[in-house]
Structure 1
Amino acid sequence: MSATATVPEVATSRAPAEPRRAGGRRITRRGRGHVLIRVGSVAAALALWQWLTANDIRLWLRFDTLPSVGEVLSAFAVAVQSETFHLDLAQSLVRILTGFALAAVIGVAVGVGLGRSNLFSAVFGPLTELARPIPAIAVVPVAILLFPSDEAGIVFITFLAAFFPVMVSTRHAVRALPTLWEDSVRTLGGGRIDVLVRVVLPGILPGVFGGLSVGIGVGWICVISAEMISGRLGVGYRTWQAYTIVDYPGVFVGMITIGILGFLTSGAVELLGRRVTRWLPRGEQRS
């Protein structure tokens, strides 16, 4: 009986497997199509750029003054082979990763405190709301006066830029948690630590990673701006130096490098967020 009973179960369990595999193939083909579209959009933009600059097009916008794609690629190939380029790259990465890591830790802690504690919110809430509208790049003169080195000042500006998106997203995520979850843990005898570990921290992860994704982008904007103003090394400093000596292909090399770095770091944050929150239900992405 047991063997006979398991046959329908096995057949039933195998039956829906094929549609899922077929669906997986459809998703794979769709994903490949999206990749081709993304690559094609970048290629089309480069082709348009090359055509506008090669033909000296001047339609209100003066494309005849910009370097062509070939000139920028040649300058990029030369830059990649130089030691200075790699030093600038490493310096900018150290600054952004240090400031972003501090912003992630402190921003989540402050956001949880503002969302969970009325006393903490009453003391620090007004201070954060007063400081939040101030652009981080406007704090450069204060950072120069406050910190003993330019390096520490640039890291502080990067931290400040990424801190507020992380803090605000965390605070909103904490306040949006259903009270039923906390009540359930307390009913089972859990304390404040249990609520924090089992309810608050897992529940706010999607909101936290949303803030981290925004924070890394804002951090790149401010670290590059700070390097242009008071840096000694870094991609931003080298880009501004290229502009001062009228090396426009070098300026575009810096811009492209910044874009690639921002794309990779933001993609890494989003990939980590998907891995950490893989237990959440996912809706099917529409084309």
Structure 2
Amino acid sequence: MMRWVLRLGSLAAGLLLWQLLTASNTRLWLRFDQLPTVVEVAERFAAQVGGAEYYHDLGSSLARIMTGFLLAAVLGIALGVVVARSRLLGDVLRPPLEVIRPIPAIALVPIAILLFPTDEQGIVFITFVAAFFPILVSTRHAVRALPTIWEDAVRTMGASRRQVLFRVVLPGTLPGVFGGLSVGMGVAWICVISAEMISGQFGVGYRTWQAYTIVDYPAVIVGMVTIGLLGYLTSAAVELLGRRVTRWLPREALR
């Protein structure tokens, strides 16, 4: 209870400071007089929540995130295990993956526009790429970090390669995999919002950018807060699932 009181208190203190600086038109190098007050943002937020357009944008952004993220999770975990377990496939797949990995996903927007017939598919592709590489790298490192004695012990008892994979490798890598999933979710949100601003026709990112173009700054802040809440809730859901799936591990392994 005390931890929640501290968290809510820090949030309330931040909002109070924001209100005081903006309402008093403070200029301390930073121009707080140009920002909307907390009250103005709250009023704009209440107005948007009362309309159907807000929920349509929420649904669009969440659909894009979940589609791209789930595809990235499946392929990222699978390829991470394959690259770490097979020397041949690692030599074949790792060079092109490592060349593409440093490229920011948002820089692929022009390629997505050229490749995919619709903007919707292109935005999902950008989301997929953004989440894919953190998941891939975390899975690969988690597989390589497994103590070899675990696999040797199971093999001495007659376990097959399939049994080793499903009973030792995958369970043992779960903490690292969920770490990558959490990071991938955060990066995916950054890129899907950016892609919506560039080429989207609806969604939270598109609506936030549209509000900026018409100089509706309270709506811009509402969009930013919405993005932050969505990112926090989805990342928290991934971490909660990770804790539930890895309850059998010591607490130190989850930190």
Fold match by TM threshold 0.5: yes
Quick one: distance in 2 between partners of 1:81 and 1:169? 41
2:229 counterpart of 1:260: yes
**Structure 2 counterpart of 1:136, from 105, 125, 146:** 105
Q: How does 1:83-122 map to 2 (within 5 A)?
A: 83-122=52-91
2:233 counterpart of 1:242: no
Deviations 1:224-258 (Å, cap 9, x if unpaired)?
00000000110000000000000000000000000
Residue aligned with 2:251, SS: coil
Deviations 1:91-134 (Å, cap 9, x if unpaired)?
00000010000010000001001110001100000111101100
How far the C-alpha of 1:283 sits from its partner, in A, is 4.2
Q: Which residue of 2 aligns with 1:200?
A: 169
Quick one: distance in 2 between partners of 1:218 and 1:279? 29
Larger radius of gyration: 1
2:41 counterpart of 1:72: yes
Question: Given that residues 175 and 253 in structure 2 are in contact (C-alpha distance below 8 angstroms), is that contact kept between their aligned partners in structure 1?
Answer: no
Deviations 1:181-212 (Å, cap 9, x if unpaired)?
11111111111101101110000000000000
Quick one: distance in 1 between partners of 2:157 and 2:109? 51
Deviations 1:2-22 (Å, cap 9, x if unpaired)?
xxxxxxxxxxxxxxxxxxxxx
TM-score (norm: length of structure 1): 0.88
How far the C-alpha of 1:285 sits from its partner, in A, is 11
Residue aligned with 1:154, SS: helix
Q: Which residue of 2 aligns with 1:152?
A: 121
Residue aligned with 1:189, SS: coil
Higher relative contact order (CA 8 A, sep 6+): 2
Aligned CA distance change for structure 1 residues 103 and 149 (closer, same or farther; 3 Å): same
Q: Which residue of 2 aligns with 1:56?
A: 25
Residue aligned with 2:40, SS: helix
Quick one: distance in 2 between partners of 1:285 and 1:229? 38
Q: Which residue of 2 aligns with 1:273?
A: 242
Residue aligned with 1:279, SS: coil
The unaligned stretches of length 5 or more in structure 2 are: none
Quick one: distance in 2 between partners of 1:160 and 1:238? 23
**Structure 1 counterpart of 2:220, from 238, 245, 251:** 251
Q: Which residue of 1 aligns with 2:185?
A: 216
Q: Which residue of 1 aligns with 2:200?
A: 231
Quick one: distance in 2 between partners of 1:170 and 1:284? 15
Q: How does 1:164-183 map to 2 (within 5 A)?
A: 164-183=133-152
Aligned CA distance change for structure 1 residues 87 and 285 (closer, same or farther; 3 Å): closer
Q: How many residues align?
A: 255
Amino acid at match of 2:153: S
Aligned CA distance change for structure 1 residues 93 and 284 (closer, same or farther; 3 Å): closer
Amino acid at match of 1:193: R
Residue aligned with 1:153, SS: helix
Q: Give RMSD over aligned pairs.
A: 1.3
Quick one: distance in 2 between partners of 1:85 and 1:58? 33
How far the C-alpha of 1:48 sits from its partner, in A, is 0.3
Residue aligned with 1:204, SS: helix
Question: Given that residues 243 and 254 in structure 2 are in contact (C-alpha distance below 8 angstroms), is that contact kept between their aligned partners in structure 1?
Answer: no
Question: Given that residues 105 and 129 in structure 2 are in contact (C-alpha distance below 8 angstroms), is that contact kept between their aligned partners in structure 1?
Answer: yes
2:35 counterpart of 1:35: no
% of aligned pairs identical? 69
Residue aligned with 1:133, SS: coil
The unaligned stretches of length 5 or more in structure 1 are: 1-31
How far the C-alpha of 1:81 sits from its partner, in A, is 0.6
